[in-house]
Chains A and B, each alone.
Chain A
Amino acid sequence: MTKSSDGVFFLTGKDFTNAGSASSNLKGILDDMGIPADIVRRAAIAAFEAEMNAIIYAVAGMMRYSITPEAVTVTLQDMGPGIPDIDLAMKEGYSTAPDYIREMGFGSGMGLPNIKKNTDKLTINSVVGEGTTLEFVIYLQGLSPETSG
């Protein structure tokens, strides 16, 4: 059933017309591979939030994915301002989104918490002035029992 697959999508900062297409393509790939619907849903939500952050805050970025029979791993690497305080950024409600971004419905400070909630493992590395790398893993065989939906 589940084979392996990997690939990459490129993201352009402030390109709100194509925003969401990388995560939507990833969702299609996962569906086609016969991955269980609940895992596809969680991966698509986490990928969308991470993709939108790269598009909103960075100049450019890429989303790599690796799907194996054990796990879905997605890595978002961007060239952008970086995150000075990652613990603070992870807090629900914390946002530095400017007004014009808020007008489009972003900036509730819930994106990173949503990623955390929907994944089994989340790692963020960031260098101020250079960029951010965010990686999440979702296990396919219930390896992580404490995960909520």
Chain B
Amino acid sequence: MKLSDLIENLSLEVKTPETDLTREVTGGYVSDMLSDVIANAKAGYVWVTFQSHLNIVAVASLKGICGIIMVNNRVPARETILKAAAENIPIMTSSLAAFELVGKLYALGLRCR
């Protein structure tokens, strides 16, 4: 599944329209702890988080994350959006809580393994 299909399916709001939304999504991981994502997420995963701080972009880029989804209508900090755009890391937001959103991602076939 492409990131763009996922965006359409889950009505995600894209905060970085200039980034590559055509990447293949290979799985997903949910965590608000950066070192946990570093240890356990894999390249091509979407990362579901409540974190909006700038540092999430560095972690996503280290791990080859294909997109960050912020839940609960979390608004990303302006610097976070700028850095994400510069590093080509898509940032999307959802009005759903993490539990609901992850359930939908799972139903769409995404796994974490």
> A residues within 8 Å of B by Cβ?
16-17, 19-20, 23-24, 27, 41, 44-45, 48-49, 52, 104-111, 113-114, 117
> A45: which B residues are within 8 A, CB to CB?
38, 62-63
Q: Is the interface of B mostly helix, strand, loop or mixed?
A: helix
Instruction: Given A17-B79, A110-B39, A114-B39, answer yes or no on A48-B62 (Cβ-Cβ < 8 Å).
Output: yes
- Is B36 in the interface zone, CB < 8 Å from A? yes
Q: Tell me if B54 and A24 are in contact (CB < 8 A).
A: no
- Is B71 in the interface zone, CB < 8 Å from A? no
> B54: which A residues are within 8 A, CB to CB?
16-17, 19
Q: For the side of the interface on B, what is the size category? A: 10 to 19
Q: Is the interface of A mostly helix, strand, loop or mixed?
A: helix
Q: Please encode chain B, from 45 to 83, with 1 for each CB lying within 8 Å of some chain A CB and 0 for all others.
A: 000010101111011011100000000000000010000
Q: Tell me if B36 and A108 are in contact (CB < 8 A).
A: yes
Instruction: Given A48-B62, A105-B33, A108-B33, answer yes or no on A114-B38 (Cβ-Cβ < 8 Å).
Output: yes
Q: Please encode chain B, from 23 to 47, with 1 for each CB lying within 8 Å of some chain A CB and 0 for all others.
A: 0000000001111101100000000
Q: Which residue on B lies nearest to A19, using beta carbons?
A: B55
A107 to B63, CA, bound (A): 19
> B59: which A residues are within 8 A, CB to CB?
48
Closest chain B CB from A84 CB (angstroms) = 21
Q: Tell me if A49 and B38 are in contact (CB < 8 A).
A: yes
Besides A45-B38, A48-B59, A105-B33, 19 more A-B contacts (Cβ < 8 Å) are A17-B54, A20-B55, A20-B58, A24-B58, A24-B61, A27-B62, A44-B62, A52-B34, A104-B51, A104-B53, A104-B55, A105-B34, A105-B49, A106-B55, A110-B33, A110-B35, A110-B36, A110-B38, A114-B35
Instruction: Given A41-B62, A44-B62, answer yes or no on A111-B55 (Cβ-Cβ < 8 Å).
Output: no
A109 to B38, CA, bound (A): 12
Q: Which 6 A-B pairs have the closest CB atoms?
A: A20-B58, A110-B35, A108-B33, A105-B34, A105-B51, A104-B53
